[in-house]
Amino acid sequence: MARVTWTPQAADDLEATCLYIARDSTRYAQVFAAEVISSTERLAVFPRSGRVVPEIEREDIREIIVAGYRLIYRLKNEEVQILTLHHGARLLDKNSLLIEG
């Protein structure tokens, strides 16, 4: 089983997204956060279940879609590092991701 960790950027992204959703509905913000967290827990068991991010085309950089958002993560040894939560309708600036190598 892989260990799941969040980068500061990803944690900030989740918080900002939930705050935005909560402006209309605190309940939906809570549901969204729970869905994202549940999805990351699944990655601990199935770390390769996400697809390779098309803009990056690296086997170790993958994503899953959660409620219209792209949860982008990196596989590193026995760890799943959550890199960012990005709205699916927005263009991804791959240079903004903290990816070494």
Q: Are 83 and 72 in contact (CB under 8 A)?
A: yes
Q: What is the pLDDT of residue 100?
A: 58
For 94, which DSSP code? G
Of all residues in the chain, the percent with pLDDT exceeding 90 is: 79
Exposed, middle or buried: residue 16 (CB in 10 Å: 0-12, 13-18, 19+)?
exposed
Q: What is the pLDDT of residue 93?
A: 73
Mean pLDDT of the chain: 91
Split at pLDDT 50, 70, 90, the class of 98 is: low
Whether the predicted pLDDT of 101 surpasses 60: no
**Of the candidates 82, 77, 13, 85, which has an alpha carbon nearest to the alpha carbon of residue 43?**
82
Adjacency order of strands within the sheet including 3-6: 3-6, 79-87, 69-76, 61-66, 51-52
Q: Is 49's pLDDT higher than 80?
A: yes
Given this model, what pLDDT does residue 29 score? 97
Q: Looking at domain 3-89, which CATH architecture does it have?
A: 2-Layer Sandwich (3.30)
